[in-house]
Structure 1
Amino acid sequence: MSILDKFKLDGEVAVVTGAGKGIGRAIALGVAEAGADVALAARTLSDLNAVAKEIRAIGRRAITVATDVTDMAALDHLAQRTVDELGSLTIWVSNAGGLPDGTPRYLTRTSEKDWDAQIDLNLKSVWMGAVVAARHMKDGGAIINTSSRAAFGGQVKNGPYGASKAAVNSLTSTLSLELAPNIRVNAVAPGPIPTENFDESMGIKSGEDREKLLQHIGIPLNRYGREEDIAAAVVYMASPAASWVTGQCLYVSGGR
């Protein structure tokens, strides 16, 4: 097998949660371009249908499943439909997450309700996704969790989110031990990427606002990330090129 062939996903079947827009959409398109058929999951079916149309246009199969990732039964339904309609399940990308209401918070000013919502969305969903995926990956596979640069170090006015993503890293490490040697479990941690959710949570309303924030952050590579940067990292983690990689978190953050 040539080195480039090791990055192909021919014959694989991937589930991607949060696939309707932003980074999730890019990941879904990326794994499809690499050769995988894809089950697309998110809450808004119309968004998923648009992504599915793009995937089918490049010759891959795609199904759409409206899914609440904080519900174990919904995730199990997603996995079962994937197996029933696409024939197997070999890659699971737990990408859905973020800020439940788009509002960053200080830890000491977060209500119990808001804390629970953050943990359910960013951590509990990842744990449940791995449990469900492992149940259906009969011949091995790869699980990739979306973490965040915010998982590293303290966070000013984003404590609940940072804590939940740090926990995703710990969860990933432990799952990689529990599910070895047949299933590899890794994480990809994006830095700042100006998606719709990012702009909303950071209060960005113009290109000037975005540029000011970039200079304040101080990214060594001097640009924001692109959704495709994360898709490329996920394709690597899912592919035979990463067959000896498990329990790792790859920070894709421009050097910050």
Structure 2
Amino acid sequence: MSDLQLYQYVLIALIFVWSGFVRSGLGFGGAVLSLPFLLLVHNAPLVYLPIISIHLLVFSSLTIWLNNRRGRGADASSGLLDGTVDWRYLRYLLTVMIVPKLIGVFGLITLPSAVLSGIIFVIVAMYSLSYILNRPFRSGSRTVDIVFLMAGGYISGTSLIGAPLIMAVAAQHLRREQLRDTLFALWFILVAIKLAAFVWADVDLQLIHHLWLLPCAAVGHVLGLKAHQYLLRAETPVFFRVLGSLLLTVSLVGLVQSLM
């Protein structure tokens, strides 16, 4: 990113603030709702994915630790002694997803940048339509659950944007108070695998850029934590329709650019 213009650096910083906000505010979507914008600024997925991966490691682990620390007294009084992560269901998720995840990681390393960008824009466009129509992905059987999880694992391996499919399954089987932190624990493990693949393939982790992008994501993270409780109480379909329309527009523009 050393050859970018000043305005591009400013845009990237703002998008990472947005990424942190979405991640902590919604519990998922920090990558899927920021990658299309980042690719419009600078079309290089392998530049951004290591940065997003490290941010996920930092903020997912921090959120789980803080929530369990704050919740010890409340859990003891309410009988919830097993913490905010459902480790048993987490093991099930990993068992189903690990092989597709590894296949996706291999595809990420071998696919050309333009092809990967096109795949990302198509996937995000599909997600945006589900937001616009207020028909998020839902699974109705164990077989569909497994298909969604395997597809989410593969997409997560290629571009870190498989969260909506995984969320569609997990939200039906996890207690509300354990949903977000169980997903954060899952993201931590999946991202650790991706980072190991990056290191093995000698992909640049962009460590120098963490000096200014990690604080940007931290600002968004704090704002997202403040918005999380409000979003739980508010009527969110309108918010997601507006967000979906914006994402669809960005994805279509990006897809056209990647095909030119």
TM norm structure 1:
0.28
- Structure with greater helix share of residues: 2
Q: TM-score, normalised by structure 2?
A: 0.27
